[in-house]
Amino acid sequence: MNLSNLQPAAGSTRNEKRIGRGTGSGRGGTSTRGHKGAKSRSGYSKKSGFEGGQMPLQRRVPKFGFKNINRVEYKAVNLDVLAALTENGITTLDAAFFVTAGLASKNAKIKVLGRGEITKALEVHAHAFSKSAIEAIEKAGGKAVTL
């Protein structure tokens, strides 16, 4: 085998349809577009969601709900995750620590939640804490510092 005798597998390719090249070709005249109407014209493009004049689905279904523009999204971190990360002797957990540990991006707000148990005295710096998380951290002798 060499470059001069390479070819596609048998039956895998077809010749392109040469449209609009006279009546003798069998695809002249209307060029396979049918007769008249917007779809036969050049420049035709159907609007997305158009259903042929029938009332489209997005207009038949009623509107509901709203987006609260004042919503604050927090990245949740639980106590059991903190306990696992602090096994190597770390006692202060701040925003930079959460970023390096891969728990949050640098612009994310962090909320510590109370799932799991904590035994070491940790100083945790976060944007928000649940009540159960504050209780657990302080019961272990640590501090929950709100940023």
Domain residue ranges in the chain: 74-146
Nearest to 128 by CA among 144, 104, 106, 107: 144
Q: Residue 33's pLDDT is what? A: 93
Q: Residue 129's pLDDT is what? A: 92
What's at 108, amino acid-wise? A
Query: Taking the chain (147 residues) in consecutive chunks of 10 residues, what is each chunk's mean pLDDT?
Result: 92 93 92 91 90 93 94 92 83 87 89 88 90 90 87
CATH T-level topology, domain 74-146:
Ribosomal Protein L15; Chain: K; domain 2 (3.100.10)
Spell out the alpha helix ranges (H) of 24-110: 57-60, 79-85, 95-100
73 to each of 27, 40, 109, 146, how far by Cα in Å?
Answer: 59, 50, 7, 16
Q: Residue 60's pLDDT is what? A: 95
